[in-house]
Chains A and B, each alone.
Chain A
Amino acid sequence: MSSFAASGEAKLRNNRRGENIIRFDSVGLRYGLGPEVLRDVTFALPSGSFHFLTGSSGAGKSSLMRLMYLGLRPTRGRVVLFDRDIAMTKRYELPALRRRVGVVFQDFRLLDHLSAMDNVALPLRVRGVKESEVRKHVPELLNWVGLSEQINAKPPTLSGGQKQRVAIARAVIGRPDLLLADEPTGNVDDHIAMRLLHLFEELNRLGTTVLIATHNQSLVDRFSQYPRLHIERGTVVGAG
Chain B
Amino acid sequence: MLGRHSDLPLKGDATSRFLPWLVALMVYLSAVSLAGVFVLNGLVHSWDHDVSGTLTVQVQPVPGEAGEALTDERVRQAVELMRRTPGVLAARALDKKQILALLEPWLGNTDVVKDLPLPRLIDVIIDPDANLELLELADRLARSVPGATLDDHRIWLSRLINLSRTTEWVAIAILVLIGCVTSATVIYATRTSMAVHRSVIEVLHLIGAHDDYIARQFADRSFALGFSGGVIGLALAVPSLTAIGWAARRIEGGFLPSLSLPITGWVMIAMLPVIAAVLAMLTARLAVHGTLARMP
A interface residue numbers (CB < 8 A to B) = 69-73, 91-92, 94-99, 103, 109, 111, 113-114, 118, 122-123, 125-127, 170, 174
Find chain B residues with CB under 8 A from A118 CB.
7
Given the complex of chains A and B, what is the CA–CA distance between A118 and B207 in angstroms? 14
Is the CB–CB distance between A114 and B7 below 8 Å?
yes
Find chain B residues with CB under 8 A from A114 CB.
7
A99 and B5 contact, Cβ closer than 8 Å, known pairs A70-B296, A109-B199, A109-B203: no
B282 CB to nearest A CB, Å: 20
Is the CB–CB distance between A98 and B207 below 8 Å?
yes
Given the complex of chains A and B, what is the CA–CA distance between A70 and B5 in angstroms? 26
A155 CB to nearest B CB, Å: 12
A104 CB to nearest B CB, Å: 12
8 Å CB interface, B197-217 against A: 199-200, 202-211, 213
Candidates A96, A111, A127, A174; contact of B203 at CB < 8 Å: A111
B interface residue numbers (CB < 8 A to A) = 5, 7, 9, 199-200, 202-211, 213, 293, 296
Given the complex of chains A and B, what is the CA–CA distance between A233 and B208 in angstroms? 30
Find chain B residues with CB under 8 A from A123 CB.
207-208
Given the complex of chains A and B, what is the CA–CA distance between A208 and B293 in angstroms? 30
Name 9 interchain pairs, CB-CB below 8 A, sorted by A.
A73-B296, A92-B210, A95-B209, A95-B210, A98-B208, A109-B202, A122-B203, A122-B204, A125-B5
Find chain B residues with CB under 8 A from A111 CB.
7, 200, 203
Is the CB–CB distance between B209 and A126 below 8 Å?
yes
Is the CB–CB distance between A126 and B208 below 8 Å?
yes
A46 CB to nearest B CB, Å: 23
Is the CB–CB distance between A91 and B293 below 8 Å?
yes
Is the CB–CB distance between B7 and A69 below 8 Å?
no
Among residues of A, the one whose C-beta sits closest to the C-beta of B11 is: A113
Find chain B residues with CB under 8 A from A70 CB.
206, 296
Given the complex of chains A and B, what is the CA–CA distance between A32 and B200 in angstroms? 23
Among residues of A, the one whose C-beta sits closest to the C-beta of B203 is: A109
A192 CB to nearest B CB, Å: 23
A71 and B206 contact, Cβ closer than 8 Å, known pairs A113-B9, A114-B7, A125-B7: yes
Find chain B residues with CB under 8 A from A99 CB.
207-208
Find chain A residues with CB under 8 A from B208 CB.
95-99, 123, 126-127
Find chain B residues with CB under 8 A from A98 CB.
205-208
Candidates B9, B202, B207; contact of A126 at CB < 8 Å: B207
Given the complex of chains A and B, what is the CA–CA distance between A72 and B205 in angstroms? 12
Among residues of B, the one whose C-beta sits closest to the C-beta of A100 is: B208
Find chain A residues with CB under 8 A from B293 CB.
91
A71 and B296 contact, Cβ closer than 8 Å, known pairs A111-B7, A122-B7: yes
Given the complex of chains A and B, what is the CA–CA distance between A226 and B205 in angstroms? 31
Given the complex of chains A and B, what is the CA–CA distance between A71 and B208 in angstroms? 11
Find chain B residues with CB under 8 A from A122 CB.
7, 203-204, 207
Given the complex of chains A and B, what is the CA–CA distance between A99 and B207 in angstroms? 6
B285 CB to nearest A CB, Å: 16
B208, B209, B211, B296: residue with the most chain A Cβ atoms closer than 10 Å = B208
B201 CB to nearest A CB, Å: 10
Find chain B residues with CB under 8 A from A113 CB.
9
Known: A111-B200, A126-B213. 11 other contacts (CB 8 A): A70-B206, A71-B206, A71-B296, A73-B296, A98-B206, A111-B7, A113-B9, A118-B7, A122-B204, A125-B5, A125-B7
Given the complex of chains A and B, what is the CA–CA distance between A91 and B200 in angstroms? 20
Given the complex of chains A and B, what is the CA–CA distance between A118 and B8 in angstroms? 11
